[in-house]
Structure 1
């Protein structure tokens, strides 16, 4: 499965991104989520395949979520996520 998606960043929360099908746009994104997200700013458009490497998301999970829900929401990293420091 491959899909042309557009990724939007939230102006309200650093590191929050919304992935949607380029053709469908925000049709299936719930209104309360869009209000919390803020005015979406386009970050990029790409052809996504399950094998594609993404910085902080699993491409297969993104595709599955868009197929099932019409969108994928990437939340900001939690404190300590990605730290190389031993715990």
Structure 2
């Protein structure tokens, strides 16, 4: 299964996978507006891969077949301060909110 991958110039670390290069007919217009002008990255053969760096390859394949596209968003950013406060609370230490 071949697909084309595009990155967003507006949304950091966001990628759009479509079934055919430069074919965005299956992608909802509001999504394309938010995504911005897609910048071509590569054509990817999913049949020859067992995994992808960030996205779940089975989910990518399923959504490409069902919807004609897959949107890969970056993982949520960690809030290190909140994590640190939680650790301190667990240790019974006072935390200033």
Measured against the shorter chain, the TM-score band is 0.7 to 0.9
Structure possessing the higher radius of gyration over alpha carbons? 2
What is residue 26 of structure 2 aligned with on the other side?
A: 28
State the 1:20 CA deviation.
0.5
Number of residue-to-residue matches in the alignment? 80
What is residue 39 of structure 1 aligned with on the other side?
A: 37
What is residue 83 of structure 1 aligned with on the other side?
A: none
Instruction: Return the structure number with greater strand share.
Output: 1
The normalised TM-score by structure 2 is 0.74
Relative to structure 1, the CA distance from residue 77 to residue 35 in structure 2 (aligned partners, 3 Å threshold; closer, same or farther) is same
State the 1:18 CA deviation.
0.3
Relative to structure 1, the CA distance from residue 24 to residue 64 in structure 2 (aligned partners, 3 Å threshold; closer, same or farther) is farther
Instruction: Return the structure number with greater helix share.
Output: 2
Report the Cα distance in structure 1 between the residues aligned to 2:47 and 2:12, rounded to whole angstroms. Answer: 26
**What are structure 2's unaligned runs of at least 5 residues?**
79-83, 88-97
Runs of 4+ in 1 over 3 A off after TM superposition: none
The normalised TM-score by structure 1 is 0.82
Report the Cα distance in structure 2 between the residues aligned to 1:25 and 1:59, rounded to whole angstroms. Answer: 21
Relative contact order, higher structure (CA 8 A, sep 6+): 1
